[in-house]
Amino acid sequence: MLSMDTGIVLPGELTAILSRMRGDARHMPPKQLQTVLNAEWGPGWYSRFARFDVRPFAAASIGQVHRAALPDGTDLAIKVQYPGVRASIDSDVDNVATLLRLPGLMPRGMDLSPLLSEAKRQLHAEADYLAEAQHLRQFDSLLVGSDIFALPTLHDALCTSQVLAMRYMESVPLDSLVDAPQGQRDRVAAALIDLVLRELFVFGAMQTDPNLANYRFDPKTGRIVLLDFGAVQPVAPALAADFRALARVALDGGDAATHRAMLRIGYFGADTAPHHQALIQSMFNVAMGPVRQDAPFDFGTSTLLETLRDMGLAIGNDRELAHVPPAATLFLHRKIGGMYLMATKLRARVALRPMVETHCRDQSLE
State phi, psi for 288 to the nearest 5 degrees. Answer: -80, -10
One-letter amino acid for residue 184 of the chain: Q
Residue 365, pLDDT score: 39
Give just the sign of the alpha carbon dihedral 184, 187, 188, 189.
positive
Residue 281, pLDDT score: 93
User: Which of 209, 242, 318, 362 is labelled catalytic?
Assistant: 209
Neighbours of 290 (CB within 10 A): 20
Q: What is the pLDDT of residues 156-173, one digit of tens each?
A: 999 999 999 999 999 999
Q: How far is it, in rounded angstroms, from Cα 363 to Cα 365?
A: 5
Residue 2, pLDDT score: 57
Q: Is 209 a catalytic residue?
A: yes
DSSP string of 77-143, one letter each residue = EEEEEPTTHHHHHHHHHHHHHHHHTSTTSS-TT---HHHHHHHHHHHHHHT-HHHHHHHHHHHHHHT
CA nearest 287: which of 332, 244, 337, 354? 337
Residue 326, pLDDT score: 85
Low-confidence stretches of the chain (pLDDT beneath 50): 364-366
Q: What is the pLDDT of residues 107-121, one digit of tens each?
A: 666 777 888 888 898
Give just the sign of the alpha carbon dihedral 363, 263, 289, 329.
negative
CA angle (202, 166, 53) in 5-degree steps: 150
Q: How far is it, in rounded angstroms, from Cα 165 to Cα 278?
A: 49
Q: How far is it, in rounded angstroms, from Cα 316 to Cα 39?
A: 46
At how many degrees (to 10) do helices 304-316 and 327-345 cross? Answer: 150
